[in-house]
């Protein structure tokens, strides 16, 4: 768990690499909750869709449910609510939601949905698979920058959340695996 990675966020880019086990149908890769909202920001991989939730509003995109590594990247700004979802560096959807919304301080959990602030965990909503290079910036990266992230194994670290920050925050039945995922 990573508590209070920021105070207020009005724009972001969330980037990660994920590989899911296809024997289960629901995987939460990223969960951010606040005292006011358990689904402040979530990214889920399901058998039928890739799904994001921002303050409980849902947007759905094509599934990445094939056992292979995929780069997922979501950008959003509260100025006009514009979001873009990229899968493997290619835009898979964009639109507007949550114009003017400010994401308050809270807690990040990787690989598990939070049904309450910093808790309410259910094994049926846990990630079964692999996750790496989770990074967040406090700005919207361009399509070119996202494409660059998706075409490199080891990506630049975010200025809000850095993958290396999680290395010392591992709890539960997780283990740090330093295998080169790009070799697959």
Q: In a 3-state reduction of DSSP, which class is residue 52?
A: strand
Query: pTM of this prediction?
Result: 0.90
Q: Domains in the chain and their CATH numbers?
A: 2-166 (2.60.120.200)
Q: What is the DSSP letter of 164?
A: H
**Residue 11, Cβ density class (10 Å: 0-12 exposed, 13-18 middle, ≥19 buried):** middle
Per-residue confidence in pLDDT tens, the chain, 184 aa? 777 777 799 999 999 999 999 988 899 999 999 888 778 899 999 999 999 999 889 999 999 999 999 999 999 999 999 999 999 999 999 999 999 999 999 999 998 888 777 777 778 778 888 898 999 999 999 999 999 999 987 668 999 999 988 877 666 665 555 545 555 5
């Amino acid at each position: 768990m990573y508590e209070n990675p920021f105070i207020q966020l009005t724009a972001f880019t969330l980037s990660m690499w994920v590989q899911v086990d296809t024997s289960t149908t629901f995987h939460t890769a990223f969960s951010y909750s606040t005292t006011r909202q358990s689904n402040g920001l979530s990214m889920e991989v399901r058998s039928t869709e890739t799904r994001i939730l921002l303050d409980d509003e849902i947007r759905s995109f094509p599934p990445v449910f094939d056992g292979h590594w995929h780069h997922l990247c979501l950008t959003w700004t509260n100025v006009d609510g514009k979001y873009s979802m990229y899968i493997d560096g290619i835009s898979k959807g964009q639109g507007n939601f949550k114009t003017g919304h400010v994401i308050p301080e809270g807690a990040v959990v990787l690989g598990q949905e939070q049904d309450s602030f910093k808790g309410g965990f259910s094994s049926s909503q846990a990630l079964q698979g692999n996750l790496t290079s989770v990074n967040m910036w406090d700005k919207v990266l361009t399509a070119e920058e996202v494409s660059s992230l998706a075409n490199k194994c080891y990506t630049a670290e975010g200025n809000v959340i850095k993958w290396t920050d999680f290395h010392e925050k591992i709890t539960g039945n997780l283990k740090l695996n330093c295998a080169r995922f790009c070799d697959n």
